[in-house]
Structure 1
Amino acid sequence: MAVLWVEGFGLILPLPLFGVIPEATSVFVLPVVALMLFFVAALVSAFFVLPSVALGHWLAERRGSGRRGWWLVGAALLVLVFVGSLSLFVVASCEGGPVLGSWRDSLDWLLYASVFYCISIPAVLAAHNVVVRADAGYRVWSARQVLGYGSVALLVESLAVLWVLIVLG
């Protein structure tokens, strides 16, 4: 959950730079967004990250290859298909009509699913690392350490993205 929270802040903080949120209101909106981000990170952790880790470890044990990280990538994709299908069903039942009425709607849902998958894979791998370290008897990182190192990694990632935007722009 801490990894998702750090990533979420990394996505929220540069929004005034891109004009999504005006700078004057971002100071007042950011605390509310932080609370919402915490809630969303908790939901994603409970309904996507932890089931992905559990399914990945179960599949790896069934195949006899131990707890390898590459099993989690496929398991996360399977969980994403299940969660995405369930969310499409809920949206279709609330709207009372077809959700994927056109190619544009299908591509939008595919884009959202792809972004969700890419954002959540570091959290899945971090949870996998915690489980593997705990099973081996090593000390597990605290949420403070994850937030600290994640913030540093996010800063480096943000600077790299900013540099790419400057070079391309």
Structure 2
Amino acid sequence: MFGLSGRFAMGEIVEQVYMTLVSAISLVFFGGVAFYIMHASNGRWRDYERLYAATDLPKPIGKKMTGMVRISQPGYRFGHLSGDVKSHRHPPVMVGVYPHGLSLSIVPPFKYGCRDLFLPFDKMTIEPAAWDLLKNEYGVRMEGVDGIEILMFSNILQWAAERSEILALMLQRAKVLRGLQRT
């Protein structure tokens, strides 16, 4: 009898090792897929990081959380039907206003490898943009990052413009352009 129960115990150990191995391989596979998706989704953010990664920034004039920002090609975009495969909506982003620019920081835990950005006003233009069904939004375009823009809700840029005269002038220019486009 002792030999028979020993075989059952050995069989259970082999089964546990097998199940552990299968679980570990599955976890590595799905973890790799998740990493690939996150890495691919942040490709446009990394385009900005090359030139505008933030280093030690002083205390901002003001800081506010946005609902999200979207990085995509300029022009009307409606979700995945836009044809812009790399277009991505970044979840809550903290916007900081400084005397010479804006900072953008994705809120953890959504940050997953994205460094903070500092967008200097002297390399920035604000353009009117249409985002999904919203018609009064603005795109932030930066020198050196061609063919894409950071779309933000108008209330965030108006809040930031109240704290920066330079940004207020850029926003005013964008409103004039929007008026000319409609006529």
Q: TM-score, normalization: structure 2?
A: 0.22
User: Of the two, which has the highest radius of gyration?
Assistant: 2
Report the TM-score, using the length of structure 1 for normalisation: 0.23
Higher relative contact order (CA 8 A, sep 6+): 1
Q: Which has the higher strand share?
A: 2
